[in-house]
Amino acid sequence: MDEVLIKAEHVSKKFCRSLKRSLWYGAQDVTRSLLPWTRQVDAEISADPDADYPFPALRTDEFWALKDISFEVRRGECLGLIGHNGAGKSTLLKILNRLIRPDTGRITIRGRVGALIELSAGFNPILSGRENIYNRATLFGFSKSEIDRKFDAIVDFAEIEDFLDMPVQNYSSGMQVKLGFAVSAQMEPDILIVDEVLAVGDVGFRFKCLNAMADLMNRSAVIFVSHSMPQVFRVATQVTVLNRGRVIISSTDVGKGVDHYLSEFNISSNIVAGSGQATLGSFHMESQNATANKGEMLRVAHGGAVTFHVGFQVDPGIPRIRIQIVVWNMEMLPVMDIMDADRRGYAVDVPNSGGVKVSARVDHIFLNGGKYILSAIAIAEDQSRIYCRDDRVGNLFVEATAASWAHTLVPAVWNLDN
Amino acid sequence: MVQSNPVPDDADRPRSTTELPEVVITPHAGLEGFTEAMRSMTRDFAQSRALAWRLFRRDISAMYRQSLLGYLWLFLPPLATVSVWIFLNQQQLVTIDTGDVPYPLFVMTGTVLWTAFNSALMAMQEIMGQARSMLSKVNFPHEALIMTAFAKALLNGLPPILLLIPVMIFYGVSIGPETLLFAFGFLTVVILGSALGLAFVPIGALYDDVGRAIQLGLRFAFFVTPVIYAMPQAPGLTRTLLTLNPLTAPLVSSRAWLIGSAEALPSATLLVFVVSLLVLALSTLAFKVAMPHLIERISA
């Protein structure tokens, strides 16, 4: 199926930094929109020679929240939209959902649009779950008979049978989100807009959501916004990386796009923390056939060995320190702590010069494929304080392709027992 | 893991592109914005009506759920106003000449009509505040909000009329064909209030000043409308002011048609009806056209 359901051409949107001005521009825009003989784009076209599309000029305090965005999505495809906070993702979704209008360009949309964006919109806290199901479903354009038909499926999906007639304000926040998702999941959209709403509810419900989404996605053209790279990998067929409203990279090679996003991410996370009584001196690491210095990325095959060489410069008066290396995933969750045989940091005496150099060899890196961030940490011998935590020592890229969300992939020796 | 499949079988049927409705999202584009708004209003009419009914029921049932007196609150405010003026008149603190019509009946009818006007205006004014979060999160036919507000205005306006019935019986007012005209006058009052309220919604969504000015204006308007007093026969500043007030004609006429208080002004009322209806329709259109700009500013 190759019908193009979403086609965006040169879409731009400007926002205003100052509230007072924003309201005043709003009043101007409203007035202008109500005068049938005006056209917005024709007015004040900028003379920017780099622009190959007529962009209106920015007014004082305005900036491009989105500039010159173009893409196409066909049925069955999924565009993963990634970028840091404030990159313009939500703005783009709002335009696609026809909540706000772009300032330039056009988007052609074929078919019914469903949005899994705001899961609690349209709820009235005083009313019961039953009443709210009807209200929310009507808001999304369901007819009464459609709701009657789908009511049981919604209640079943949301797992709220026992609380149907209780006011929604007494629901836990998790239950409210479940209810919201359950109603939205009943849509039969041709175009599905999904914002990062999936990390909700308990584990069982999350899987249920993901499966329901997968069903919806197969039938529609999807725009998917997420900060979770495993999710993007799993569902996206193409990615667009946004930064400050501009497209940085747009590719059908999802891995390439994600890599690009992650390398951007790195720059912004240079952190050195701790008491400052120790500072990172040298850092170096090697795998079987590659080496990397401080700040570089080391590629390693899954299961391969890596040796880390770490040097710290320690203040006088500290006789002994412990050193460890922590491995973080891209969501900044620690996934591996490299320690000594006693599951503590490796303890060493500090020589008079204050310079400490150690190395640690890990025989098998069993981390799942992907990019990881390394921190080198120096702590007091009794572990009471952190002298230095340097988060910019380098990155590890583990080469593995497996359909698994787990942090580690362990190749075991399997045997038939009967 | 057991998974409930929420999508019915017929959704598997592939739909061809030609069947699918196509929507083009562009920057606001002059006249096109209006034609587009009209097209979508026609297309979405069934949905917006269903939604309006749903929102209406939601608001009504939620309105009095946290209340002991409940629907009694529909009757209390007009009763309070009426009592005050009857008291003032009986104690001769304020002397008001209403001709042959008993003052309580006169002031009650006036108050009923004023309440209808007032609540229609306020219902429209409250649209943006009440639906703010919904508007900035979900795309739905916005005209449903106007229908809901209009229905709420009617609902708030009707119960006080029920209060009138025993009073009319008490004073022996006969019901004739002119009573039907009262319904028309009443509707005109509600439409006028809605039109006035809605016209200022787009700009009021941006600036709070509008809402405050309207509150202030209403207090003033109460006294330059013949609600608690009769239209003076002698020419003068009062009469000129009252004649310029668009609410005067439908209010005076409705009261005349119901209780035979004074001369009705049928042609002026008809004019107000037509113009208000026109303003209401145009304001609805403007509301729809301006909405994306408003959402952009209120949710920013």
pLDDT tens per residue, range A291-332: 999 888 899 999 999 999 999 999 988 999 999 999 988 767
Domain membership of residue A76 as a residue range = 4-9+69-263
Best of A2, A17, A100, A178 to substitute, by most chain B Cβ atoms within 10 angstroms, is A100
Closest CA of chain B from A154, distance in Å: 8
Best of B23, B200, B282, B296 to substitute, by most chain A Cβ atoms within 10 angstroms, is B296
- Answer for the pair A265, A392: CB distance below 8 angstroms, yes or no: no
Pair A90, A236 in one domain: yes
Judge: A124–B58 Cβ closer than 8 Å, yes or no: yes
Residues of B within 8 A of A215 (CB-CB) are: 5-7
A39–chain B Cβ distance below 8 A for any pair:
yes
Ordered alpha helix ranges (H), A220-348: 229-235, 254-267
User: What pLDDT does A47 receive?
Assistant: 46
User: What pLDDT does B275 receive?
Assistant: 97
Closest CA of chain A from B9, distance in Å: 11
Pair A308, A250 in one domain: no
What tokens does A149 get? 């038909």
Side-chain-facing half-sphere of B142: CA atoms under 13 Å = 30
Q: Least CA distance to A220: which residue of chain B?
A: B14
User: What pLDDT does A52 receive?
Assistant: 58
- Answer for the pair A300, A399: CB distance below 8 angstroms, yes or no: yes
Cα A186 from Cα A164, distance rounded (Å): 18
Cα A271 from Cα A285, distance rounded (Å): 20
Closest CA of chain A from B31, distance in Å: 4
Say if A168 falls within a structural domain. yes
Pair A115, A248 in one domain: yes
C-alpha B89: how far from chain center: 30
Burial class (CB in 10 A: 0-12, 13-18, 19+), B12: exposed
**Residue ranges in chain B modelled with pLDDT below 70:** 1-18, 299-300
B198–chain A Cβ distance below 8 A for any pair:
no
B29–chain A Cβ distance below 8 A for any pair:
yes
Say if B42 falls within a structural domain. no
Pair A238, A288 in one domain: no
B26–chain A Cβ distance below 8 A for any pair:
yes
Is the torsion defined by CA of A412, A418, B2, B8 positive or negative? Answer: positive
B293–chain A Cβ distance below 8 A for any pair:
yes
Pair A166, A238 in one domain: yes
Burial class (CB in 10 A: 0-12, 13-18, 19+), B23: middle
User: What pLDDT does B80 receive?
Assistant: 85
Pair A102, A241 in one domain: yes
- Answer for the pair B111, B227: CB distance below 8 angstroms, yes or no: yes
State mean pLDDT over A142-153.
90
* Percentage with pLDDT > 90 across chain A: 30
Pair A156, A256 in one domain: yes
Say if A79 falls within a structural domain. yes
The CA-based angle A140-A142-A147, given to 5 degrees, is 120
| Cβ count within 10 A of residue A328 | 18
Ordered alpha helix ranges (H), chain B: 30-43, 45-63, 76-90, 103-125, 127-137, 143-170, 178-199, 201-206, 208-223, 237-244, 248-259, 266-298
Best of A99, A117, A133, A215 to substitute, by most chain B Cβ atoms within 10 angstroms, is A99
What tokens does A408 get? 């580690």
Closest CA of chain A from B54, distance in Å: 6
pLDDT bracket for residue A42 (50, 70, 90): very low
C-alpha B72: how far from chain center: 20
State mean pLDDT over A253-264.
76
pLDDT bracket for residue A235 (50, 70, 90): confident
The pTM of the full predicted model, rounded to 2 decimals, is 0.78
* Number of structural domains found in chain A: 2
The interface residues of chain A toward chain B in range 284-343, judged by CB-CB distance below 8 A, are: none
Domain membership of residue B220 as a residue range = 73-132+150-299
Say if A19 falls within a structural domain. no
Instruction: Note the pLDDT tens digit of each residue in A71-80.
Output: 999 988 899 9
Q: Least CA distance to B136: which residue of chain A?
A: A99
Pair A226, A295 in one domain: no
Cα A370 from Cα A301, distance rounded (Å): 11
CATH number of the domain within which A312 lies: 2.70.50.60
Best of A138, A155, A159 to substitute, by most chain B Cβ atoms within 10 angstroms, is A138
Best of A4, A5, A14, A33 to substitute, by most chain B Cβ atoms within 10 angstroms, is A33
The interface residues of chain B toward chain A in range 47-76, judged by CB-CB distance below 8 A, are: 47, 50-51, 54-55, 58, 61-62, 65-66
Residues of A within 8 A of B3 (CB-CB) are: 208, 211-212
Say if A333 falls within a structural domain. yes
What tokens does A21 get? 């001005």
* Number of structural domains found in chain B: 1
User: What pLDDT does B264 receive?
Assistant: 83
A15–chain B Cβ distance below 8 A for any pair:
yes
Residues of A within 8 A of B30 (CB-CB) are: 35-39
Comparing CA positions, the residue from A389, A387, A272, A390 lying closest to residue A318 is A387
Pair A79, A181 in one domain: yes
Cα A201 from Cα A205, distance rounded (Å): 6
User: What pLDDT does B6 receive?
Assistant: 40
| Cβ count within 10 A of residue A118 | 17
Q: Which of these three, A206, A239, A263, is where a domain ends?
A: A263
Say if A126 falls within a structural domain. yes
| Cβ count within 10 A of residue A108 | 16
Pair A151, A171 in one domain: yes
Pair A213, A295 in one domain: no
B4–chain A Cβ distance below 8 A for any pair:
yes
Say if A163 falls within a structural domain. yes
User: What pLDDT does A268 receive?
Assistant: 43
Say if A407 falls within a structural domain. no
Pair A233, A296 in one domain: no
A116–chain B Cβ distance below 8 A for any pair:
no
Q: Which of these three, A228, A263, A298, is where a domain ends?
A: A263
State mean pLDDT over A115-140.
83
- Answer for the pair B140, A141: CB distance below 8 angstroms, yes or no: yes
Residues of A within 8 A of B203 (CB-CB) are: 27, 30
Element (H, E) at A83: strand A78-83
| Cβ count within 10 A of residue B216 | 10
Say if B164 falls within a structural domain. yes
Residue corresponding to tokens 């340097």: A390
Instruction: Note the pLDDT tens digit of each residue in A374-416.
Output: 999 999 998 888 999 888 788 899 887 777 778 899 989 999 9
The CA-based angle B133-B134-B136, given to 5 degrees, is 65
- Answer for the pair B82, B108: CB distance below 8 angstroms, yes or no: yes
Select the residue of A37, A140, A215 nearest B5 (Cβ to Cβ). Answer: A215
Long-range contacts of A156-165 (CB under 8 A, 24+ apart): A156/B4, A157/A181, A157/A182, A157/A185, A157/A208, A157/A212, A157/B4, A157/B6, A158/A129, A158/A182, A159/A205, A160/A129, A163/A129, A164/A128, A164/A129, A164/A130, A165/A128, A165/A129, A165/A130
pLDDT bracket for residue A370 (50, 70, 90): confident
Size of the A and B interface in Cβ pairs below 8 Å: 186
Say if A395 falls within a structural domain. yes
User: What pLDDT does A197 receive?
Assistant: 61
CATH number of the domain within which A164 lies: 3.40.50.300
Q: Choose between A55 and A349: higher pLDDT.
A: A349
